[in-house]
Structure 1
Amino acid sequence: MDVVVIETPQLGDRSYLVHDGSVALVIDPQRDIDRVEGAALKAGVRITHVAETHLHNDYVTGGLILAEKHGAEYLVNAADEVSFARVPVSDGQVLRVGRLLVSVVATPGHTHTHLSYVVRDDTHDGGTEAVFSGGSLLYGSVGRTDLVSPHDTAKLAHDQYSSVRRLVDSAHPEAALYPTHGFGSFCSIGPASHQESSTIGEQAKSNHALTDPNEDHFVSELLANITAYPAYYAHMSPLNAAGVGPAALQVPDSVDAEELGRRLRSGEWVVDLRHRVAFADSHLQGSVSFEYGRGDNFTSYLGWVIPWNQPLTLLGPLSEVEKAIRDLARIGIDSPDAAGGPESTVLNVGALAPDHPRASYGHGDWSLLLREREPADVVLDVRRPDEYMASHIKGALNIPVYELLGRITELPDTRIWVHCATGYRASVAASLLNRAGRKVVLINARFRDAAGTGIETVP
C-alpha cells in the first residue's frame, strides 16, 4: 500500500490517493481534481473508488466529479441525504480496492454522519495499515463539533470522545494516521499539534481526546476552546449534498478600464491581491486589500469577510489571479472577473482604470504609533475575541475583521490605528475602513512585538 498526500495549505486540509500499485482509492478530494489526477498518473494507477469522510464544511468536494469522470464508485455515508447517485456505505462495511481492504468506521462528532476508513494491505503477513480519519481524530486533538447546530454541539463533543476511542480500537497501534483537517483548518479545535505525521499509537499516548480519563472534563475543555469560523462554511455542506460541477479555473479576459471604473463606483467588490504596503501606498478608490501568497488564509478570510455570492473582480499579476481563482473555486466562489498584468513587482493598478481616483493611507510599525498617536485616536484590534482576551493593547477596541463590515458605524469619527497578530487581517480591515471613507493607519507589525517597543499591553 502506498499513500500519496495531496496538500491544500490554503485551507489547512489534506486529500489522499491510496493505491496498491494498480488501482486507487481517493479520500476527501478537493474540487480542483487535476491535482489528484496528476498524482494518479505519476503513480501509474487507475482511480476506481472515491470516498468522503463527511459532507465537508470548509470546502466544496471534488468527489462527485472525480468519480463520474473516472467511472469510480463514490462512497458516501448511507445516512447522508444527497441529490446524486452514490454507493451508500455504513459502519462495519468492508470493501475491496484491488489488494486493499477498506473498513468503514462510524465516527460521529465532527458531524452526525462522519465516517473514518481503516485501510489494510491484504497480504499473507497482514500487511500495513492506515487510518483516514477526516475530521475525527486529528494530530493532537479532534475536529470541531459546533458546525452542525448550536443545539448539537455538546452532544457531538461527547460523540467525539467516544468515536476516537472506537477508531483507535479498530486499528493497530503502528497504523499511520491520515486526517483531512488539522493543518491550519478552522475545522480543527483544541491543542492541535504541528507535526507532519503520526500513528494511532502515538496519538493514544499524547492526544488529549484519548488521554483525558474524564469525558465531561474533555467536553467542557473542548467547548471552552471553540472560536469563530468563516461565514462561508454555512454554504459548503448544502453545496456538497446537492453536488457541484467542475471548477472553472481559466483566467478570464481582463476587464477594461471603463467597466472596472463602473464596478468601483457602484460599490462592487474589487479585490487587490498586491502586497499590503503597495496597496496602502496607492490603490483604486473603493477596492479592498486581500494580499495573496503569504500563507495567511487568503481564501478563508475573503470567504469570511466579503458577503456571499456577490460579484467579484480580482486585481493583480495574472499569475496570482490564476492561483486565487483556483483557491476560491475550492470554497464555491466561481468565475470571478479579473484585471491585471504579468509582472508582480511593477504592476500599476492605477493604469487599469486611469480615470478612476486613487486612494492611500498611512502604515508603519509600533514606533509610528508611539510617535504620532493623538489622544482622540482609536486603536482597533481586529483579532478574534479570544486573542484579544489573552492580551491586548491597553484601551484598544476589539472588532474582529470578520465583523467589521457590519460594525464600522460603531467606531468614532476619528483616526483609527488598526492592528492584528501579523498585519494581514489588519490590512484587510484598514482597506474596509478606507473604502468607507474613514481615516486609518495600518500597523504592519506583529502584536507580540508591541510590548518590546514600549506599548502598554494587558493583562
Structure 2
Amino acid sequence: MFFVDTIEVPGLGNRSYLAGGERTAVAIDPPRDVDRVIAAAARRGVRIVHVLETHVHNDYVTGGLELARLTGAAYRVPAGARVSFPRVPVRDGDRTEVDTAAGLAVRALSTPGHTPHHTSYVLEDNGTAVAVFTGGSLLIGAVGRPDLVEPRLTERLAREQHASAHRLAAELPDDTSVLPTHGFGSFCSSSQAEGSDTTIGKEKASNEAFTRDVDTFVADLLAGLDDIPAYYAHMGPVNAAGPAPADLTPPAPADAEEIADRLAAGEWVVDLRNRVAFAAGHVAGSFNFEADGKLATYLAWLIPWGKPVTLLAESPEQLAAAQRELVRVGIDRPAAAATGDPADWVREGEEPASFPRATFADLADRRPAGGVTVLDVRRGSERSEGRIEGSVHIPIHTLRHRLHEVPGGEVWVHCASGMRAAIAASLLDAAGRAVVAVDDSFDAAEQAGLTVRTP
C-alpha cells in the first residue's frame, strides 16, 4: 500500500507532494514553509527519508534543504544542477528505495526542457509505475516554460520539452498519474491547467506536446510565452546557494507615527485588506495587495527587490498568513506590521484616504461626458483578446515605472476581474491621481455598451 498527499500552494499556483508507505516517505519539491510537510508526515505517522527536487526552482524559494536538515533525510537534487551545498546528485535511471517493506521506490527520469537539468521521478509500487512527479516538465494540458533560464537556450529547451514529454509517454503506462509541481496558476506554466488531475493517457490524447509535431509545438509554445515576473531573477540564485530557514515570528509592531515615518522614508506600506475595504479608507500613500489574492506573486513582482515593507492587516491571523506567503518568494522579514483598521494607522487629526469603485456599466455612463482616461492593466496576451476602444494599456507589472505615461485627469482603471485594478488604483492614488477602480469582470464591458475591439 502507498499514499500520495498533495500539499497545495495556491498563492503561487504550485503543488508539492508527500509519498510513502506505512513507515517512510519522500517529499517532492517542498515549499519553504516546511512545517506543512512535517505536519503531513506526522498525520501519516511516517518518517521522511528522502527529499527530492525536480529542478532548481525559478518561481519560489525551496524548503528542500531545510526539510532535509530537520528530518535527517537525504537531499536529492539533479546532478546537472549547479548548487553550493552538499546534496546527493541524482542521475537518469537512479532508483531510490522509499519504503522497502512496502516495495515502494522512485526512479529518476531525465526530462530536460523547463531547465537543462530537470528530472522527473516515477513512483513504483513493487516495480509497477503508479505515478510520476513531473515538476515543470509535463503539466496538465501544458508544459513548463522553457524561457526562464537563459534566452539563448529557450528554443533548445522548448524542443527538449517536446522530447521529454514523449519519453514519459513511451516509458510509462497510460494509467500512470501525472503529478506536476507547476500549472495551477503558476507563471512557470506555458498555459493554465484545466482540471486538477490527469494521467499519461489523458495527456497523450489532448496535450499539444503530443498532438502537434515538434516544429509546430515549439513555434506555438514560443509565441505564447508571457511576461516573466521580475522576482524570478532572484529565486534561482537563492535556491542554488541554499536558502536560509524561514522565519515566521511576528514582525515588530508599528504605530501611526512609525507608519508615517516609513512612508516618508520611501518605504512600502502594504495594506492586506480586501479591495472594497481599502477603497473605502486607507493610509494615504499605502498600496493595496489583497491577502486573499495572488499576494506573493504580485507584491514580489512589483516591489523594488530588497525594499523594506510594512504590512497592515485586519487581524493577526491575516498577517501571519501573509508572512507565510511572502517567505515563499524571498520576502523574509517585514520591517514592521500593524493590525486593526485605518483609524488605528493614521495620526491624530488625520483622516484616511479613499477612492471610488465602479462597474463597467458606470464607466459607460460616465465616458460620454469626456475627460476620462481608461487604463487597462492586464497583460498583453489578455488585451490581444479584446480591449476597450481608446483605452491606454500599461500592464500592472510595469505601471510603477510608467506612471508618467498615464494621461492627466480622472483615471478609470480596469483589469480582468478587479484585483489588479485595485493594486493599480492604489499606486495611482498614492501618486496623487484622481482614480476610480473598476471592480468588475471584463466580460461585462461589452454588455455595458462599451466598444470592445479585437485585433
Query: So what's the TM-score if we normalise by structure 2?
Result: 0.96
Distance of 1:275 and 1:9 partners within structure 2: 18
1:141 has 2:142 as partner: yes
Partner in structure 2 of residue 426 of structure 1: 421
Distance of 1:443 and 1:329 partners within structure 2: 31
Letter in 2 for 1:110: H
1:436 has 2:414 as partner: no
8 Å CA contact 2:122–2:131 kept in 1: the answer is yes
Higher deviation after alignment, 364-373 or 396-405: 364-373
Q: What is the deviation of 1:340?
A: 3.2
Partner in structure 1 of residue 310 of structure 2: 313
Distance of 2:264 and 2:408 partners within structure 1: 23
Letter in 2 for 1:221: D
Letter in 2 for 1:230: P
Q: What is the deviation of 1:253?
A: 3.5
Partner in structure 2 of residue 209 of structure 1: 209
SS of equivalent residue, structure 2 residue 49:
strand
SS of equivalent residue, structure 2 residue 249:
coil
Pairwise mapping of residues 384-399 of structure 1 onto structure 2 (< 5 A)?
Answer: 384-399=379-394
Distance of 2:361 and 2:197 partners within structure 1: 41
SS of equivalent residue, structure 1 residue 449:
helix
Partner in structure 1 of residue 345 of structure 2: 352
1:304 has 2:301 as partner: yes
Q: What is the deviation of 1:195?
A: 1.3
Partner in structure 2 of residue 242 of structure 1: 241
Distance of 1:269 and 1:410 partners within structure 2: 22
Aligned Cα root-mean-square deviation (Å):
1.3
Distance of 1:423 and 1:338 partners within structure 2: 28
Letter in 1 for 2:240: A
SS of equivalent residue, structure 1 residue 162:
helix
Q: What is the deviation of 1:193?
A: 3.2
Distance of 1:302 and 1:403 partners within structure 2: 13
Could you list the per-position Cα deviations for residues 329-372 of structure 1 after superposition, in whole angstroms to 9, with x for gaps in the alignment? 0001001144333xxxxx42232232455322222112221233
SS of equivalent residue, structure 1 residue 142:
coil
Could you list the per-position Cα deviations for residues 220-255 of structure 1 after superposition, in whole angstroms to 9, with x for gaps in the alignment? 011111011211111101000000121111222321
8 Å CA contact 1:141–1:188 kept in 2: the answer is yes
The gaps in structure 2 that reach 5 residues or longer are none
Distance of 2:317 and 2:229 partners within structure 1: 26
Distance of 1:4 and 1:389 partners within structure 2: 39
Distance of 2:251 and 2:105 partners within structure 1: 44
Distance of 1:338 and 1:139 partners within structure 2: 40
8 Å CA contact 2:255–2:338 kept in 1: the answer is no
Higher deviation after alignment, 396-405 or 174-183: 174-183
8 Å CA contact 1:340–1:349 kept in 2: the answer is no
Letter in 1 for 2:241: A
Partner in structure 2 of residue 75 of structure 1: 76
Distance of 2:150 and 2:53 partners within structure 1: 21
Pairwise mapping of residues 20-419 of structure 1 onto structure 2 (< 5 A)?
Answer: 20-99=21-100, 100-122=104-126, 126-127=127-128, 129-190=130-191, 192-212=192-212, 214-293=213-292, 296-317=293-314, 318-341=316-339, 347-355=340-348, 358-373=352-367, 374-419=369-414
8 Å CA contact 1:264–1:285 kept in 2: the answer is no
Distance of 2:274 and 2:82 partners within structure 1: 43
SS of equivalent residue, structure 2 residue 151:
coil
Distance of 1:150 and 1:273 partners within structure 2: 35
Distance of 1:280 and 1:370 partners within structure 2: 21
Higher deviation after alignment, 259-268 or 371-380: 371-380
Q: What is the deviation of 1:210?
A: 1.4
Distance of 2:359 and 2:343 partners within structure 1: 26
Distance of 1:361 and 1:400 partners within structure 2: 21
8 Å CA contact 1:255–1:337 kept in 2: the answer is no
Letter in 1 for 2:363: L
Partner in structure 2 of residue 344 of structure 1: none
Letter in 2 for 1:46: R
8 Å CA contact 2:58–2:148 kept in 1: the answer is yes
8 Å CA contact 2:342–2:352 kept in 1: the answer is no
SS of equivalent residue, structure 1 residue 7:
strand
Distance of 2:128 and 2:63 partners within structure 1: 30
Higher deviation after alignment, 405-414 or 44-53: 405-414
Equivalences, count: 447
Q: What is the deviation of 1:130?
A: 1.1
Percent identity of equivalent pairs: 48
8 Å CA contact 2:132–2:179 kept in 1: the answer is yes
Distance of 1:271 and 1:223 partners within structure 2: 35
Could you list the per-position Cα deviations for residues 84-110 of structure 1 after superposition, in whole angstroms to 9, with x for gaps in the alignment? 100011112112222322211111100
Higher deviation after alignment, 169-178 or 233-242: 169-178
Distance of 1:161 and 1:410 partners within structure 2: 41
Query: So what's the TM-score if we normalise by structure 1?
Result: 0.95
